[in-house]
């Protein structure tokens, strides 16, 4: 699980720094969804945190079998620039019709995860010799 998350985040961070992607979702074998978000330097952190929260909410609703979502946000990589991290933990057992309406409104307004590119990855947790 840690190896998959580490590799996924590293690949995501590289692509985000090249402006190829802004966000990525990774599911773990432990039943948790992870949302990664990288924003340009200078973007207001309060907006980044808000976007991360909305993305976590949307991805929870799009994946009913997952009850827990962890979001991690940072800046896109820039040489000799520092960075900050923000994290969100969302655990929601039940999904209501009001939640579904809110999800649809968020997607309509911001387009979060409306046309995701999906791929599967496998990584051995321990080296195979």
Q: How high is the pLDDT of residue 8?
A: 87
Q: How high is the pLDDT of residue 82?
A: 82
Spell 15-44 as b/e; 16+ CB within 10 A means b: ebeeeebbbbbbbbeeebbbbbbbbeeeee
pTM: 0.86
Q: What is the pLDDT of residues 28-40, one digit of tens each?
A: 888 999 999 999 9
The domain limits of the chain are 2-108
Q: How high is the pLDDT of residue 57?
A: 99
Q: How high is the pLDDT of residue 128?
A: 55
pLDDT under 70: residue ranges of the chain: 1, 117-129
What is the third-level CATH fold of 2-108? Alpha-Beta Plaits (3.30.70)
Q: How high is the pLDDT of residue 127?
A: 57
């Amino acid at each position: 699980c840690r190896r998959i998350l580490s590799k996924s985040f590293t690949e995501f961070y590289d692509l985000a720094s090249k402006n190829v992607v802004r966000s990525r979702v990774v599911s773990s074998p432990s039943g948790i969804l992870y949302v990664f978000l990288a924003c340009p330097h200078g973007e207001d952190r309060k907006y980044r945190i808000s976007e991360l929260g909305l993305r976590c909410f949307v991805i929870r609703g799009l994946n009913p079998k997952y009850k827990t979502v962890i979001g991690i946000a940072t800046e896109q990589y820039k040489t000799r620039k520092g960075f900050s991290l923000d994290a969100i933990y969302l655990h929601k057992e039940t999904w209501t019709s009001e939640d579904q309406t809110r999800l649809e409104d968020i997607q309509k307004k911001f387009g979060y995860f409306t046309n995701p590119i999906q791929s599967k990855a496998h990584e051995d947790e321990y080296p195979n010799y």
